[in-house]
Structure 1
Amino acid sequence: MNKENLYQLCLKFIEQRIETAETALKQAREASNDDTKSSAGDKYETSREMMQQDIDRNKRLLIDAEDNRKVLESIGHASVTDSIRGGSLVYTNQGIFYISISAGQLLSEGKTVFAISAASPIGKLMLGKKKKDSFDFNGKTYLIEDIA
Protein backbone atom coordinates (compact mmCIF):
# COMPACT_ATOMS: atom_id res chain seq x y z
CA MET A 1 0.00 0.00 0.00
CA ASN A 2 1.31 3.42 -0.96
CA LYS A 3 1.54 5.88 1.97
CA GLU A 4 2.08 8.77 -0.43
CA ASN A 5 -1.32 8.06 -1.98
CA LEU A 6 -2.94 8.05 1.49
CA TYR A 7 -1.15 11.29 2.35
CA GLN A 8 -2.49 12.92 -0.82
CA LEU A 9 -6.04 11.68 -0.11
CA CYS A 10 -5.87 13.21 3.38
CA LEU A 11 -4.45 16.45 1.99
CA LYS A 12 -7.29 16.62 -0.55
CA PHE A 13 -9.81 15.99 2.26
CA ILE A 14 -8.38 18.88 4.29
CA GLU A 15 -8.17 21.24 1.31
CA GLN A 16 -11.85 20.60 0.58
CA ARG A 17 -12.75 21.33 4.21
CA ILE A 18 -10.75 24.58 4.11
CA GLU A 19 -12.40 25.63 0.84
CA THR A 20 -15.88 24.83 2.20
CA ALA A 21 -15.23 26.73 5.43
CA GLU A 22 -13.81 29.75 3.56
CA THR A 23 -16.82 29.84 1.23
CA ALA A 24 -19.29 29.54 4.12
CA LEU A 25 -17.45 32.24 6.07
CA LYS A 26 -17.48 34.59 3.07
CA GLN A 27 -21.21 33.99 2.53
CA ALA A 28 -21.98 34.54 6.22
CA ARG A 29 -20.03 37.82 6.23
CA GLU A 30 -21.77 38.99 3.05
CA ALA A 31 -25.18 38.14 4.52
CA SER A 32 -24.29 40.04 7.67
CA ASN A 33 -23.13 43.08 5.70
CA ASP A 34 -26.20 43.00 3.45
CA ASP A 35 -28.63 42.83 6.35
CA THR A 36 -30.19 46.25 6.72
CA LYS A 37 -31.75 47.39 9.93
CA SER A 38 -35.48 46.95 9.85
CA SER A 39 -38.09 48.58 12.00
CA ALA A 40 -38.52 45.28 13.82
CA GLY A 41 -35.79 46.12 16.38
CA ASP A 42 -35.47 42.93 18.42
CA LYS A 43 -35.94 40.81 15.32
CA TYR A 44 -32.99 42.62 13.72
CA GLU A 45 -30.78 42.09 16.78
CA THR A 46 -31.66 38.38 16.90
CA SER A 47 -30.88 38.06 13.20
CA ARG A 48 -27.53 39.84 13.61
CA GLU A 49 -26.62 37.60 16.57
CA MET A 50 -27.46 34.47 14.58
CA MET A 51 -25.33 35.70 11.69
CA GLN A 52 -22.44 36.42 14.08
CA GLN A 53 -22.75 32.91 15.52
CA ASP A 54 -22.65 31.54 11.97
CA ILE A 55 -19.50 33.58 11.24
CA ASP A 56 -17.87 32.40 14.49
CA ARG A 57 -18.73 28.74 13.76
CA ASN A 58 -17.26 28.95 10.27
CA LYS A 59 -14.11 30.63 11.65
CA ARG A 60 -13.67 27.72 14.08
CA LEU A 61 -14.17 25.18 11.26
CA LEU A 62 -11.56 26.98 9.17
CA ILE A 63 -9.06 27.12 12.05
CA ASP A 64 -9.63 23.42 12.77
CA ALA A 65 -9.09 22.49 9.12
CA GLU A 66 -5.91 24.59 8.94
CA ASP A 67 -4.65 22.95 12.15
CA ASN A 68 -5.29 19.54 10.59
CA ARG A 69 -3.31 20.57 7.52
CA LYS A 70 -0.38 21.52 9.79
CA VAL A 71 -0.59 18.13 11.52
CA LEU A 72 -0.62 16.37 8.18
CA GLU A 73 2.34 18.41 6.92
CA SER A 74 4.26 17.68 10.13
CA ILE A 75 4.01 13.92 9.62
CA GLY A 76 4.85 14.42 5.96
CA HIS A 77 6.52 11.36 4.62
CA ALA A 78 7.39 9.68 7.90
CA SER A 79 9.91 6.91 7.65
CA VAL A 80 9.04 3.41 8.72
CA THR A 81 9.83 2.68 12.37
CA ASP A 82 9.42 -0.32 14.64
CA SER A 83 6.78 1.44 16.72
CA ILE A 84 3.61 3.25 15.72
CA ARG A 85 3.74 7.04 15.45
CA GLY A 86 2.26 9.80 13.31
CA GLY A 87 2.52 8.81 9.66
CA SER A 88 2.51 5.08 10.36
CA LEU A 89 0.41 2.74 8.28
CA VAL A 90 -0.82 0.07 10.67
CA TYR A 91 -2.14 -3.30 9.57
CA THR A 92 -4.29 -5.04 12.19
CA ASN A 93 -6.59 -8.03 12.26
CA GLN A 94 -9.47 -5.51 12.42
CA GLY A 95 -8.43 -3.26 9.53
CA ILE A 96 -5.80 -0.92 8.17
CA PHE A 97 -5.15 2.44 9.86
CA TYR A 98 -3.21 5.49 8.70
CA ILE A 99 -2.15 7.55 11.71
CA SER A 100 -2.56 11.07 10.38
CA ILE A 101 -5.77 13.12 10.65
CA SER A 102 -9.36 12.16 11.26
CA ALA A 103 -10.48 11.80 7.65
CA GLY A 104 -12.55 8.65 8.03
CA GLN A 105 -12.53 5.84 5.52
CA LEU A 106 -10.30 6.20 2.48
CA LEU A 107 -10.21 3.88 -0.48
CA SER A 108 -6.68 3.18 -1.69
CA GLU A 109 -5.64 0.47 -4.11
CA GLY A 110 -9.02 -1.19 -3.68
CA LYS A 111 -8.68 -1.42 0.10
CA THR A 112 -10.38 0.52 2.87
CA VAL A 113 -8.02 2.41 5.14
CA PHE A 114 -9.12 4.35 8.21
CA ALA A 115 -7.36 7.71 8.47
CA ILE A 116 -7.29 8.47 12.19
CA SER A 117 -5.71 11.09 14.38
CA ALA A 118 -3.05 10.11 16.89
CA ALA A 119 -5.18 12.04 19.40
CA SER A 120 -8.27 9.88 18.78
CA PRO A 121 -9.10 7.22 21.37
CA ILE A 122 -7.93 4.35 19.16
CA GLY A 123 -4.96 6.37 17.92
CA LYS A 124 -3.78 6.93 21.50
CA LEU A 125 -3.98 3.19 22.14
CA MET A 126 -1.87 2.45 19.05
CA LEU A 127 0.94 4.95 19.62
CA GLY A 128 4.18 3.27 20.61
CA LYS A 129 2.90 -0.25 19.93
CA LYS A 130 4.98 -2.64 17.86
CA LYS A 131 4.33 -5.50 15.48
CA LYS A 132 2.65 -8.45 17.27
CA ASP A 133 1.39 -6.17 20.11
CA SER A 134 -2.31 -6.13 20.81
CA PHE A 135 -4.80 -3.84 22.51
CA ASP A 136 -8.52 -3.78 23.25
CA PHE A 137 -10.87 -1.12 21.94
CA ASN A 138 -14.68 -1.11 22.06
CA GLY A 139 -14.82 -4.76 23.03
CA LYS A 140 -12.54 -5.91 20.22
CA THR A 141 -8.98 -7.11 20.40
CA TYR A 142 -6.66 -5.61 17.79
CA LEU A 143 -3.50 -7.47 16.85
CA ILE A 144 -0.87 -5.38 15.09
CA GLU A 145 0.23 -7.46 12.11
CA ASP A 146 2.53 -4.98 10.41
CA ILE A 147 3.68 -1.33 10.47
CA ALA A 148 4.72 0.54 7.34
Structure 2
Amino acid sequence: MTLKQQLLQICNERVDKRINDYKEEIALIKESIESNDKGDSEDDDSGNGKLLNDLEKNLEHLNDAQKTKIYLQNIRTSINSNDVVLGSLVKTNLMNFYISTSIGKIDLEGESYYAISLNSPIGQLLRNKLVNDQFEFNQSKYIIKEII
Protein backbone atom coordinates (compact mmCIF):
# COMPACT_ATOMS: atom_id res chain seq x y z
CA MET A 1 0.00 0.00 0.00
CA THR A 2 1.40 3.39 -0.98
CA LEU A 3 1.84 6.24 1.49
CA LYS A 4 -1.08 8.15 -0.05
CA GLN A 5 -3.29 5.06 0.16
CA GLN A 6 -2.39 4.67 3.84
CA LEU A 7 -3.15 8.33 4.54
CA LEU A 8 -6.49 8.12 2.73
CA GLN A 9 -7.36 4.97 4.66
CA ILE A 10 -6.61 6.72 7.97
CA CYS A 11 -8.77 9.69 6.91
CA ASN A 12 -11.62 7.31 6.06
CA GLU A 13 -11.23 5.48 9.38
CA ARG A 14 -11.36 8.73 11.35
CA VAL A 15 -14.45 9.92 9.46
CA ASP A 16 -16.09 6.51 10.00
CA LYS A 17 -15.38 6.85 13.72
CA ARG A 18 -16.97 10.32 13.75
CA ILE A 19 -20.04 8.96 11.97
CA ASN A 20 -20.38 6.07 14.45
CA ASP A 21 -19.85 8.39 17.43
CA TYR A 22 -22.59 10.75 16.21
CA LYS A 23 -24.96 7.83 15.57
CA GLU A 24 -24.36 6.50 19.08
CA GLU A 25 -24.90 9.94 20.61
CA ILE A 26 -28.11 10.40 18.60
CA ALA A 27 -29.40 7.02 19.79
CA LEU A 28 -28.67 7.95 23.43
CA ILE A 29 -30.42 11.29 23.08
CA LYS A 30 -33.47 9.67 21.48
CA GLU A 31 -33.55 7.14 24.31
CA SER A 32 -33.40 9.95 26.88
CA ILE A 33 -36.22 11.83 25.17
CA GLU A 34 -38.37 8.70 25.13
CA SER A 35 -37.73 7.97 28.81
CA ASN A 36 -38.54 11.62 29.67
CA ASP A 37 -41.81 11.34 27.75
CA LYS A 38 -42.75 8.30 29.86
CA GLY A 39 -42.21 10.21 33.10
CA ASP A 40 -45.20 11.74 34.81
CA SER A 41 -43.56 15.00 35.86
CA GLU A 42 -44.91 18.18 34.30
CA ASP A 43 -41.52 19.95 34.42
CA ASP A 44 -39.76 17.65 31.94
CA ASP A 45 -40.30 19.96 28.97
CA SER A 46 -37.18 22.04 29.69
CA GLY A 47 -35.06 18.88 29.74
CA ASN A 48 -36.54 17.69 26.46
CA GLY A 49 -35.88 21.11 24.92
CA LYS A 50 -32.16 20.79 25.62
CA LEU A 51 -32.17 17.19 24.42
CA LEU A 52 -33.93 18.16 21.20
CA ASN A 53 -31.36 20.91 20.69
CA ASP A 54 -28.53 18.40 21.26
CA LEU A 55 -30.23 15.98 18.88
CA GLU A 56 -30.42 18.63 16.16
CA LYS A 57 -26.73 19.55 16.59
CA ASN A 58 -25.66 15.91 16.43
CA LEU A 59 -27.78 15.30 13.32
CA GLU A 60 -26.05 18.28 11.66
CA HIS A 61 -22.61 16.94 12.64
CA LEU A 62 -23.57 13.48 11.35
CA ASN A 63 -24.71 14.98 8.06
CA ASP A 64 -21.41 16.89 7.73
CA ALA A 65 -19.38 13.75 8.49
CA GLN A 66 -21.35 11.79 5.90
CA LYS A 67 -20.67 14.53 3.32
CA THR A 68 -16.96 14.31 4.19
CA LYS A 69 -17.07 10.54 3.63
CA ILE A 70 -18.53 11.09 0.16
CA TYR A 71 -15.94 13.81 -0.54
CA LEU A 72 -13.11 11.43 0.37
CA GLN A 73 -14.37 9.05 -2.33
CA ASN A 74 -13.31 11.67 -4.91
CA ILE A 75 -9.64 11.33 -3.94
CA ARG A 76 -7.54 9.30 -6.35
CA THR A 77 -4.36 8.06 -4.69
CA SER A 78 -2.82 7.28 -8.08
CA ILE A 79 -3.02 10.89 -9.27
CA ASN A 80 0.28 12.40 -10.36
CA SER A 81 0.19 16.15 -10.71
CA ASN A 82 2.93 18.74 -10.88
CA ASP A 83 0.78 21.17 -8.91
CA VAL A 84 -1.07 20.79 -5.62
CA VAL A 85 -4.54 19.29 -6.12
CA LEU A 86 -6.97 17.14 -4.15
CA GLY A 87 -5.11 13.97 -3.17
CA SER A 88 -1.62 15.51 -3.32
CA LEU A 89 0.98 14.81 -0.68
CA VAL A 90 2.98 18.00 -0.23
CA LYS A 91 6.32 18.00 1.54
CA THR A 92 7.63 21.39 2.60
CA ASN A 93 10.67 22.56 4.53
CA LEU A 94 8.52 22.75 7.69
CA MET A 95 5.63 20.27 7.42
CA ASN A 96 4.04 17.60 5.28
CA PHE A 97 0.45 18.07 4.08
CA TYR A 98 -2.01 15.57 2.68
CA ILE A 99 -4.65 17.42 0.67
CA SER A 100 -7.87 15.67 1.57
CA THR A 101 -10.13 16.83 4.39
CA SER A 102 -9.48 18.55 7.69
CA ILE A 103 -8.60 15.58 9.89
CA GLY A 104 -5.51 16.97 11.54
CA LYS A 105 -2.20 15.33 12.37
CA ILE A 106 -1.45 11.80 11.21
CA ASP A 107 1.72 10.05 12.37
CA LEU A 108 2.82 7.38 9.92
CA GLU A 109 6.12 5.58 9.41
CA GLY A 110 8.02 7.96 11.66
CA GLU A 111 6.76 11.14 10.00
CA SER A 112 3.92 13.54 10.66
CA TYR A 113 1.42 14.57 8.01
CA TYR A 114 -1.37 17.09 8.33
CA ALA A 115 -4.55 16.14 6.51
CA ILE A 116 -6.07 19.43 5.37
CA SER A 117 -8.82 20.56 3.06
CA LEU A 118 -8.20 22.63 -0.06
CA ASN A 119 -10.76 25.04 1.41
CA SER A 120 -8.78 25.58 4.61
CA PRO A 121 -6.65 28.74 4.83
CA ILE A 122 -3.39 26.84 4.25
CA GLY A 123 -5.07 24.68 1.60
CA GLN A 124 -5.98 27.85 -0.30
CA LEU A 125 -2.34 28.93 -0.17
CA LEU A 126 -1.16 25.51 -1.42
CA ARG A 127 -3.70 25.18 -4.24
CA ASN A 128 -1.99 24.92 -7.66
CA LYS A 129 1.47 25.56 -6.21
CA LEU A 130 4.51 23.81 -7.75
CA VAL A 131 7.75 22.38 -6.36
CA ASN A 132 10.02 25.20 -5.14
CA ASP A 133 7.09 27.61 -4.78
CA GLN A 134 6.99 29.50 -1.50
CA PHE A 135 4.21 30.84 0.69
CA GLU A 136 3.79 32.33 4.14
CA PHE A 137 1.36 31.14 6.78
CA ASN A 138 1.23 32.24 10.43
CA GLN A 139 4.49 34.14 10.01
CA SER A 140 6.33 31.02 8.80
CA LYS A 141 7.85 30.72 5.35
CA TYR A 142 7.18 27.42 3.60
CA ILE A 143 9.03 26.08 0.58
CA ILE A 144 7.50 23.19 -1.34
CA LYS A 145 10.15 20.48 -1.64
CA GLU A 146 8.10 17.69 -3.20
CA ILE A 147 4.59 16.98 -4.51
CA ILE A 148 3.58 13.32 -4.65
How far did residue 78 of structure 1 move?
4.8
Equivalence for 2:114: 114
> Which one-letter code corresponds to 2:136 in the other structure?
D
Change (3 A) 1:65 1:78: farther
Question: Unaligned 5+ residue runs, structure 1?
Answer: none
> Which one-letter code corresponds to 1:129 in the other structure?
K
How far did residue 137 of structure 1 move?
0.6
TM-score normalised over the length of structure 2: 0.94
How far did residue 44 of structure 1 move?
1.7
Equivalence for 1:60: 60
Equivalence for 1:9: 10
Pairwise mapping of residues 42-121 of structure 1 onto structure 2 (< 5 A)? 43-121=43-121
> Which one-letter code corresponds to 2:55 in the other structure?
I
Residues of 2 paired with 1:46 and 1:142: CA distance?
52
Equivalence for 2:25: 24
What whole-Å deviation, never above 9, does each CA across 1:70-128 have from its counterpart, x for those lacking one? 11111132501011011000000111000001111101111110011111110111011
How far did residue 61 of structure 1 move?
1.2
TM-score normalised over the length of structure 1: 0.94
The answer (yes or no) to whether the contact 1:75–1:100 under 8 Å persists in 2 is: yes
Pairwise CA RMSD: 1.3
SS of the aligned residue for 2:99 comes to strand
Count of residues in correspondence between the two structures: 146
Question: Unaligned 5+ residue runs, structure 2?
Answer: none
